[in-house]
Structure 1
Amino acid sequence: MKTKIYYGALLLQSVLYAQTPADFVNEGNLSVAPSTLVSSYFDFSNKGTGNVINDGEFYFYGDYNNEGLFSFTTNQRTGYVVFEGSNKTIQSISGDSPSMFYDVLFNKAGTTYSFDLTNDISSQGKVNLLNGVVLMNKEQGGVFIFLKGATHINTSDKSHVDGEVTKKGNEKFRYPIGNGGYYRYAQISAPAAEADHYTGEYFLKNSNPLYPHTNKTGVIELIDAQEYWAVEQKENTQGSVLLTLSWDERTTPAALLANEAKDLRIVRWDASQKLWVDEGGVVNTSDKTVTTPVVVDGFGVFTLAKIKTDLVLPDDIVIYNGVTPNGDGSNDYFIIDNIQRYPNNSVRIYNRWGREIFKTTNYDSNGNVFRGYSENSANFKDGEKLPTGTYYYILEYEYTKDNTSRMIKKSGFLHLEND
């Protein structure tokens, strides 16, 4: 049975006391043991001398302010913090010192947003965005960090983070971000190093005033004028990731979603060239997402765009994206129908981290095909058997029509079953 402890003006006065009739202050050491519940019904302030180690459950119904230490025991998995703000219109989460939580719950209904975050908070466990939008006020010192292993649940239009979210660690991550009452996530593949971290933020506004849509490469026909994302590498993060953006008929222009959204791509504002460039895109209509086929060339501002269909792969090339090299005569290699008509071609295949594992030219000539083994790769030994999983391919070939030749580029997912 959990012990419930309600701290008041007369309880543990050496640690907690009432500064005003509606304010509780900690100036000493406070440890909350596992299976212990603490509730603060009034505003809570942890002063600079305060040291809170929460391995139990700590509920905050008033404002929260941290100027000292608020954390949990290293390797402890029971520290749980709840922000419910039942006696506040908007619950403030503030303070100049970082707050570290294991699991944390946000549960407060609101019309626009329910939580005003100006504190640096981080979670190593599960962030339950059950109810209420968290306004991450970066200009006032707000930071929202998901540490290695951290996840989020129940994210929706009514419960997400409006502002920048940081992810640390080498795991695939979907940012719980939104703006204007819409949850509009971006997602990154697993970074190479545990120390890597990336930020993500969504803006329900036209990017054109800051990043002119007239400045674009020739393949881009139409750029999303209603929304954009900012995804950044931070500190000493090296390498790159695959990027996924979502679309939503309520925010994404209908013109971009014509033809079942098959012409969608991810585009990036190249700050050095002051130009929108095509990062490619693999469309998943069931998930309503677009994913870059390989790691992105740079970071910053991204959005969705429609490409010119007359510059896309002709219909006479058919790609089968399942490879099962088990010798049964079905999909034993990566099949690209009719590629033999275009011998001036190249195929490159990458793993989930964007590392090239296979490349060749004049594909499907004299047995020159991908059978689930590395080839001509700087990252793996030739002939090394590759593990089962999802890979990404880029096919380029020279196409001639009306006596005019041009290079066609196609990218997409490839699933390998190599047991």
Structure 2
Amino acid sequence: MKQLIAISIGLFASLTYAQNALYNQGSIQIHPNGSIGFHTNFINDASFDQHIGLAGFYGNNSIQVSGNVAPSFWDAEFFVPSNVMLRIPVHIQNNANLVDGNVDSPLDDQTVYLNFMQNGFFTGERNGAKITGFAAINNRDFFSFPIGDENQLRPLTLISQGSTPLARCAYLFENPSSPTSLTSSFDVNSKVSEIGTVTDQEFWILNSGVPAAVTISWNARSDLASIPNASFESIIVVGWSIAANQWVVIGNAAKGGDITNGFITSEVFNPNDFGAITFGTIPLPTDTFAVNNPTLGNYFLSPNGDGINEFLVLDNMSESPNNSLRIFNRFGQKVFEKINYVDEFNGESNTGNFYLSQDIGLPEGVYFYLVTLDDLGLEYQGFLFLDR
């Protein structure tokens, strides 16, 4: 860190904030190679942009930056474990050194952000030092936003098709369906049929008027493995379409990692068309029937008169009234067949030579079944054990 010249003049008791504040009405400048340290709130109501020096924010107490004019710093240093709270935009012309603590802005106000101008960059980003609100860029076509929530750095990399005059980005570790930090919401159950599941753990907000691709990543906290039938191969980038008011597929251009930790790069899209971006999965090839009926597999049947497991009950067959069931013994001989099956099989044969012995019932053992669901265009198979 550069040696600082402590500024003690210009302090007054603000009616807006409980703490004292440094109030700029146009009399503060940072000369080349000079520095200023803010240990209290900063209220800026005049031009503060002709500086080639360092502005540092320091101390154990939270510091707020407010006022009517957005200040512009050449170099800035943030060393406030209790966070620097932005209430107006702050512009970075050169370097923002993120030492300790977060730079925070309201997530429900996209007009407030830490803005990296055309040549601005940052250093020191980590879980304990990042932007927990909106970060922005000017006139850039590639940038990795050092954003996250209070606990983790969760960057988004923007790969724009051209220089974007202004792009803004934020990360929320909140359920898109009911985010606590926003007045708007993005129902994860409102989605196109090409999406199986939309994660309810996290999402990003990105604004830019220039078509772009993005790279986002997931980790153990993202918990993608808990999505039913999720796999690394099934992960896709999805976005909340503002026009359609539902989640749609943005698409993947590249992907790496596994179901616990990985990254994904999207296809090119127009960020301003989407209210949120996150992870989804593609549906199973058999659509959602198997997901909603996970017990459609192997069965146990014991038709002994005790009222338990007396009949073969296949889950939710009512979803496809036009169906068929065929059952075969271990020799491949068909012992039961029924069109439009509704829980009738109780261990007795109704086909072939076995039909004559239906009063005795089929022998104990393992049988193979095949189900077709004509209304859904699906087919399932499995085993059942008949216990006498």
Instruction: Judge same fold: TM > 0.5, yes or no.
Output: yes
Pairing of 1:95-110 with structure 2 (within 5 A):
95-110=67-82
Q: What are the Cα deviations for residues 199-254 of structure 1, in whole angstroms up to 9, with x where unaligned?
A: 11111111124222222122211111011111112xxx4x3111122212113432
Residue 184 of structure 1 corresponds to 154
Partner of residue 129 from structure 2, selected from 149, 159, 174: 159
Secondary structure at 1:155's aligned position in 2? coil
Secondary structure at 2:29's aligned position in 1? strand
Distance 1:4 1:299, change over 3 A: closer
Residue 194 of structure 2 corresponds to 219
Letter in 2 for 1:129: L
Residue 45 of structure 2 corresponds to 67
Residue 380 of structure 1 corresponds to none
CA distance in 2, matches of 1:204, 1:62: 30
Pairing of 1:36-47 with structure 2 (within 5 A):
44-47=21-24
Cα displacement (A) at 1:53 = 4.0
**2:97 matched to 1:128?**
yes
CA distance in 2, matches of 1:294, 1:137: 28
CA contact (8 A) 1:256 1:305 kept: no
Secondary structure at 2:190's aligned position in 1? coil
Residue 321 of structure 1 corresponds to none
Residue 63 of structure 2 corresponds to 91
Cα displacement (A) at 1:4 = 6.2
> CA RMSD, aligned part only?
3.0
Residue 318 of structure 2 corresponds to none
**2:281 matched to 1:306?**
yes
Letter in 1 for 2:59: G
Q: Which runs of 5+ in 1 are unaligned?
A: 9-15, 23-41, 312-419
Pairing of 1:18-417 with structure 2 (within 5 A):
19=12, 44-55=21-32, 56-73=34-51, 78-86=52-60, 88=61, 90-110=62-82, 114-137=83-106, 142-193=112-163, 196-209=165-178, 210-233=185-208, 237=209, 239-256=210-227, 261-281=232-252, 282-285=254-257, 288-296=262-270, 298-308=273-283, 310=285
CA contact (8 A) 1:224 1:303 kept: yes
Distance 1:18 1:302, change over 3 A: closer
TM-score, scaled relative to structure 2:
0.62
Q: Which runs of 5+ in 2 are unaligned?
A: 179-184, 287-388
Secondary structure at 2:204's aligned position in 1? strand
TM-score, scaled relative to structure 1:
0.58
Distance 1:117 1:54, change over 3 A: farther
Secondary structure at 1:254's aligned position in 2? helix
CA distance in 1, matches of 2:226, 2:96: 36
- Report % sequence identity: 19
Distance 1:260 1:57, change over 3 A: farther
Letter in 1 for 2:216: L
CA contact (8 A) 1:51 1:68 kept: no
Distance 1:124 1:306, change over 3 A: same
CA distance in 2, matches of 1:196, 1:18: 36
Structure showing greater Rg: 2
CA distance in 2, matches of 1:301, 1:139: 13
Cα displacement (A) at 1:181 = 1.7
CA contact (8 A) 2:203 2:278 kept: yes
**What is the total number of aligned residue pairs between the two structures?**
270
Letter in 1 for 2:279: L
